[in-house]
């Protein structure tokens, strides 16, 4: 068990669970494996459990922290480890492309579970500026992110993320690794944005609309779920069966359907 450099009570309304397990922290740093020249950006440093080991390893780090009560202790404690730049803002209002400038950033974070999906989609909006992401999330969310067609947890999140990123679950993290312990298991996941010429989506808004509608009522067939979005002829033109359900359609299938001219 690792002793934090400073301690603050976790704020429930911010979804704070502070990581403290030394072995898990070491595995995260090893997974990130920072190299000279990397631009590391951590979301939600908390009490610095991942921050300070990354600083020890890499020498410099930018962190995004919303809780003003953590700014001063993070600033003071970081002096013994390296150069820490703190961005005191809501991460959903942070422009990752602006932080990256003329390079790409590597995102790391123990994300607040009540904001994990919005943060993931916000990161996708700046995917060109991001080389990779290593996030701690609720294990159930990681399972959904990486799910394959036919799985009970394959859904909108799976399709939207896999269309733009390679998603690789790395390892599970038990509740006892946090203070206070959450009521669920967690997991660390790696996401690597696909190169622009590898992404086959032609119209992102159309793609989002099709995927959202398809999974809006999971028990419905594509013919019924996509009523008003894509008719049976269009579904068949994409090489899909109108009587199939959304969870049976792979990511390329949704991309083909969204890329066809709507009627």
Integer Cα distance of 91 and 238 in angstroms: 37
Classify burial at 119, counting beta carbons within 10 Å of its beta carbon; exposed 0-12, middle 13-18, buried 19 or more: buried
Residue 105's nearest CA partner among 131, 128, 141 is 131
Token digits of residue 153: 């947890």
Nearest C-alpha neighbor of 250 from the set 152, 169, 162, 189 = 162
- The annotated binding site for S-adenosyl-L-methionine is made up of 17, 19, 44, 65, 90, 110
Token couple for 154:
């394959």
Backbone dihedral region for residue 59 (phi beyond 0: left; psi -120 to 50: alpha; all else: beta): left
Q: To 5 degrees, how large is the angle CA 50–CA 51–CA 52?
A: 100
Contacts of 2 (CB under 8 A, 6+ apart): 20, 21, 22, 25, 49
Cα separations (Å) of 228 from 79, 96, 131, 149, 232?
58, 36, 38, 24, 11
Strand pairing class (39-43; 60-64): parallel
Where is the binding site, in residues? 17, 19, 44, 65, 90, 110
């Amino acid at each position: 068990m690792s002793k934090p450099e400073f301690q603050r009570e976790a704020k429930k309304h911010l979804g704070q669970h502070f990581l403290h397990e030394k072995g898990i922290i070491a595995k995260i740093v090893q997974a990130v494996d920072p190299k000279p020249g990397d631009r590391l950006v951590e979301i939600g440093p908390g009490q610095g459990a991942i921050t300070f080991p990354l600083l020890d390893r890499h020498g410099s780090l930018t962190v995004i922290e919303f809780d003003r009560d953590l700014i001063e202790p993070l600033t003071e404690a970081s002096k013994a480890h390296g150069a820490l730049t703190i961005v005191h803002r809501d991460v959903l209002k942070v422009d990752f492309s602006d932080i990256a400038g003329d390079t790409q950033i590597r995102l790391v974070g123990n994300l607040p579970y009540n904001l994990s999906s919005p943060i993931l989609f916000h990161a996708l909006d700046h995917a060109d500026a991001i080389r990779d992401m290593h996030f701690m999330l609720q294990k159930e969310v990681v399972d959904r992110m990486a799910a394959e067609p036919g799985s009970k947890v394959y859904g909108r999140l799976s399709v939207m993320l896999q269309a733009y990123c390679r998603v690789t679950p790395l390892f599970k993290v038990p509740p006892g690794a946090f203070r206070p312990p959450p009521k669920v298991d967690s997991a660390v996941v790696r996401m690597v944005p696909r190169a622009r010429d590898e992404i086959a989506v032609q119209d992102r808004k159309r793609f989002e609309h099709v995927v959202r509608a398809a999974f809006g009522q999971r028990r419905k067939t594509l013919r019924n779920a996509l009523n008003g979005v894509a008719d049976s002829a269009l579904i068949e033109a994409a090489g899909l069966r109108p009587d199939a359900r959304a969870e049976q359609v792979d990511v390329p299938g949704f991309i083909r359907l969204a890329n066809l001219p709507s009627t």
